[in-house]
Every structure is written in C-alpha cells, then in structure tokens.
Amino acid sequence: MQETVNDPLREYCSTNTTGTLCLLESAQLAGVKKFIFLSSIKVNGESTTDKPFSELDVPCTEDPYGLSKWEAEQGIAELCKSSATDYTIVRLPLVYGYGVKANFAKLIKLVNSKIPLPMGAINNKRSLLYIGNLTAALQAIIQNPNSKNKTYLLSDNNDVSTPDLVRAIAVAYGIKPKLIAVPVFLFKLLGIVTRKQKAISRLLGSLQVDSSKIRHDLNWQPPYTVAAGLAEMVSFERENSCKN
C-alpha cells in the first residue's frame, strides 16, 4: 500500500499476473490436474455499503495490486479453457494467524499496550479469514469436484466491527479491553489533516464478504470463529515463545 517504484502496476503484474500464468503453463505441461489461485477481495473493491461482496459482482479494482490479481484470474480462465487442468480461484479478505504482519500486527500491539484506544464509536463490519479456515477450505476445494473452474469468496462467516475486533483480541490475550468512544468525524478530520484519508477509511469503513457459495457448493463450513481463531493464534504464539 506504500509503493515506492515508478510503475507499481508493472511490478505487481510481473509477479501476480505474469508469474502466475507462467506457473500455470508449467503446471499444465507437467500434467497437473488442479490449479488453485489465491486472489484478493480487492478484485471486487475496497469497501462495502449496502450489501456484502459476492462472486456475482462486477470487478471494481481500485489499485494496482487488485488489478494485477484480476488480470491473473482472467488469464487463468483463458488458459484452462482447452486444458486438462481445471482451476479454482479464491478471493481472500484479510488473513490472520500466527505471524500475522502489517496493520493487524499493529492493532495487536496496541491492544497489548493496554492504552485506551479511541475506536469505541466506530460502527462498521469487516470480514476476516483465519489461516485455519483458509487451509480447511483449500482441502475441501482439492477433494470436491464441484469446485472445478469456480471462483469463490472466502471468510470466517463471522463479521466483526473494529471495536468488536479489539475486544476479541483483548480476550484472546487475557487482558481487559480499553476503548474510548471518539466521534467518527474526528477520525475523518485527522485523515484530511495528515493526508491519510485512505488509511482512515479502512479503519472506519466496512468490507463484508458473502461466502455462501463455497459453503453451498462444497457443503463446507469454516471450523473456526474469529474468537476461536484468535485464541489458537495466541496459543501458537506463546508456544513458540517458550521454545525460543
């Protein structure tokens, strides 16, 4: 999200698009029967308002990363038209678990600092995906022929608001959450002053995913709720901390 190169689209496409399609062509030559591509919900867009994203939505990419993933999806479908290799595309929201990085890791650090967080008045809904649910879904895709040449949106099917996520993280770490209800308009004003409107929009906005298609097609349910996923993440973290 903080590109420093002159042509971000070219850089993303070199890996996400060209690299993926080269890998698919090699897989086809090797006789691979199934190709699974982990795409991004950014193909659908950056936020939702009146309804969650679904597979029926017209793609609406807003950045080079999302566009590179969308172009890869189209290339995969084209290459598999006259091939013995079938494909499944899975568009992912934010994936969390042991070793998670970026903004999710920053939020965990803030919660563990035990300082009051000014997020209590935020009223949004975000779809997340625990790594355990992702791996379980991939296993179902591999085993179930109904996944052939399909595109799926995936999530925990347990959407949470930003304050709810803070509370869930605090519970997982065994600490008391500290939230202050700062008016949302102050966040927006801060975004304007600091020129970080996009970052503030991600904090305040909703991004919901309708994952009913994969649950229906493959008779699959995510084995972890957000609370259970966070609890296992913390357990792995503490276990590895003891080993080190």
**Domains of the chain, with CATH numbers?**
8-243 (3.40.50.720)
The whole-angstrom separation of Cα 146 and Cα 142 is 10
Beta-strand pair 86-92/150-153: parallel
CA-based radius of gyration for the chain: 19
Q: What is the mean pLDDT of each run of 10 residues along the chain (244 residues)?
A: 73 94 97 97 95 96 94 97 95 96 92 95 96 98 97 97 96 95 94 88 93 97 97 92 74
- Residue 8: what pLDDT? 82
The amino acid at 97: G
The rounded percent of the chain whose pLDDT value lies above 70 is: 98
Contacts of 148 (CB under 8 A, 6+ apart): 86, 88
Cβ(92)–Cβ(154) under 8 Å? yes
- Residue 2: what pLDDT? 58
- Residue 59: what pLDDT? 95
Summarised one tens digit per residue, pLDDT across range 167-225 is 999 999 999 999 999 999 999 999 999 988 888 888 899 999 999 999 999 999 999 99
- Residue 3: what pLDDT? 62
Query: Would you mind telling me the total number of residues written for the chain in this entry?
Result: 244
Helix (H, G, I), strand (E, B) or coil at 205: coil
Q: Examine the residue annotation and report whether 65 is marked as an active-site residue of this protein.
A: yes
Q: Catalytic residue among 65, 87, 152, 224, which? A: 65
